[in-house]
């Protein structure tokens, strides 16, 4: 959080109106960072329905296990998030820490421990002293207020250089509902389900099973299509809550995820998820460039995504972008190593609007000057045509700079 803000950061923060039914408060518990907030508590006035997606890492954090256990209940009354310590790879102590936090949160919110959700982010392998923040939860539950989204987003930051927030509205039938979201993440970003930590709340009245279907569908082309460094976190957690407050406005119950009344809501939710996911990439540790990689003509959409991620995660591609070098040969390399079908002699590659390679060789009209001009932009589009089928996918990444090495070389110090 200290130091310069990413040059790719939003020029201004969106105004975040309250979402009825949820209140938030933050505190500085000194878990790792000094002189800044590092604990967030969200309190739901009435039980909210909840959906979640989590890391597929085989070494998940204790809070991820805790949330998975509680998700089946489908109800939430409180969320506690801390930054500075991931409570991952902490064994029995980690489980005891989550249990202690859940007891304190349930007491503060006046609910059962099964209605509490927890998330932690920061250093892996360090025991988390839950007494540092469990003692502040009573005060947070009392002081929590609706109009607190930006401050809440700041409290969950680690190496982020700016808080990440987004808001949308949609109609379900004749009733307008709101969706607000926040996220944190800058490094260890290669989501394999959701990403980093993200919390989204709507005042819509939607049952948990339908909410889960919407979230699981919406995460694939958004959070699961971004990568900073190819490293999937142990702590990835995305939770979506519906407070149901819109029912008082006359919102009619929805029957299933395919209910036509949810069409606008689904679009707005997916738009918000993409907004947050791209904000994470734009804050990639040390990032100076944002890169959109689109693969077309693959055998199928899954193959296209795998090829696109192979390009996006290549250190050689990412360092070429950092150096503003139009080295399209590195894209050829990344396509070839992906493990998916590709035909060298059908391959075509574009940097921006400049076709640099076609039919298995350099474009006859190739201009180094034109290609280099594209690489000087802050936002760069790389497009690859495989020429085998109709599969298509887009993923987003950032460049790999010396600053990334510096940030991660002394992350624990």
CA dist 144 and 19 (Å) reads: 13
Active site residues: 195
CA dist 250 and 175 (Å) reads: 7
294, 298, 300, 306 alpha-carbon torsion, rounded to 10°: -60
- Chain CA centroid to CA 94, Å: 24
How many CA within 13 A on the CB side of residue 245? 17
Q: How far is CA 145 from CA 20, 43, 183, in A?
A: 10, 9, 19
CA dist 364 and 213 (Å) reads: 48
* Helix/strand/coil (H/E/C) assignment for every residue in the chain: CCCCCCCCCCCCCCCCCCCCCEEEEEECCCCCCCCCCCEEEEEEEEEEEEEEEECCCCCCCHHHHHHHHHHCCCEEEEEEEEEEECCCCCHHHHHHHHHHHHHHHHHHHCCCHHHEEEEEEEECCCCCCCHHHHCCHHHHHHHCECCCHHHHHHHCCCCCCCCEEEEEEEEECCEEEEEEEEEECCCCCCCCCCCCEEEEEECCCCCHHHHHHHHHHHCCCCHHHECCCCCCCCCCEEEEEECCHHHHHCCCCCCCCCCHHHHHHHHHHHHHHHHHHHHHHHCCCCCCCEEEEEEEEECCHHHHHHHHHHHHCCHHHHHHHHCCCCCCHHHHHHHHCCCCCCCHHHCEEEECCEEEEECCEECCCCCHHHHHHHHCCCEEEEEEECCCCCEEEEEEEECCCHHHHHHHHCCCC
As a whole number of Å, the CA-based R_g of the chain is 22
294 is in an annotated binding site: no
408 is in an annotated binding site: yes
Binding residues: 158, 184, 195, 285, 408, 413
Binding residues for substrate: 158, 184, 195, 285, 408, 413
């Amino acid at each position: 959080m200290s130091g310069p803000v990413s040059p790719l950061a939003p020029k201004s923060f969106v105004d975040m109106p309250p979402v009825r039914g949820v209140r938030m408060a933050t505190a500085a518990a000194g878990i790792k960072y000094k002189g800044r907030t590092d604990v967030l508590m969200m309190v739901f006035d009435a039980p909210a329905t909840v959906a979640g997606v989590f890391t597929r890492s085989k070494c998940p954090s204790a809070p991820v296990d805790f949330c998975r256990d509680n998700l089946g209940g489908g109800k939430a009354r409180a969320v506690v998030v801390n930054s500075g310590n991931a409570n991952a790879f902490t064994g029995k102590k980690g489980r005891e820490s989550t249990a202690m936090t859940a007891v304190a949160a349930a007491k503060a919110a006046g609910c059962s421990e099964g209605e509490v959700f927890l998330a932690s982010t920061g250093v892996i392998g360090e025991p988390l002293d839950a007494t540092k923040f469990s003692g502040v939860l009573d005060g947070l539950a009392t002081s929590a207020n609706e109009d607190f989204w930006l401050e809440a987003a700041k409290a969950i930051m680690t190496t982020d250089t700016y808080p990440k927030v987004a808001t949308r509205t949609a109609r379900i039938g004749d009733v307008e509902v709101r969706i607000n979201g926040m996220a944190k993440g800058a490094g260890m970003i290669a989501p394999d389900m959701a990403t980093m930590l993200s919390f989204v709340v709507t005042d819509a009245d939607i049952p948990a099973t339908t909410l889960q279907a919407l979230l699981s569908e919406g995460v694939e082309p958004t959070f699961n299509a971004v990568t900073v460094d190819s490293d999937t976190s142990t702590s990835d957690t995305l939770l979506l809550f519906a407070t149901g407050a819109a029912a008082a406005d006359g919102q009619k119950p929805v029957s299933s995820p395919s209910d036509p009344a949810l069409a606008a809501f689904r679009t707005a939710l997916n738009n918000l998820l993409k907004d947050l996911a791209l904000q994470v990439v734009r804050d990639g540790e040390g990032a100076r460039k944002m890169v959109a990689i689109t693969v077309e003509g693959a055998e199928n959409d899954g193959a296209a995504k795998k090829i696109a991620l192979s390009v996006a995660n290549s250190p050689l591609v990412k360092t070429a972008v950092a150096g503003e070098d139009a080295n399209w040969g590195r894209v050829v390399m990344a396509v070839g190593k992906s493990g998916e079908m590709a035909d060298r002699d059908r391959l075509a590659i574009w940097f921006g609007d400049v076709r640099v390679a076609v039919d298995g060789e350099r474009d006859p009209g190739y201009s180094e000057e034109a290609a280099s001009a594209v690489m000087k932009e802050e936002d760069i589009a790389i497009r690859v045509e495989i020429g085998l089928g109709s599969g298509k996918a887009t993923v987003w990444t950032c460049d790999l700079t010396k600053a990334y090495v510096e940030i991660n070389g002394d992350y624990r110090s």
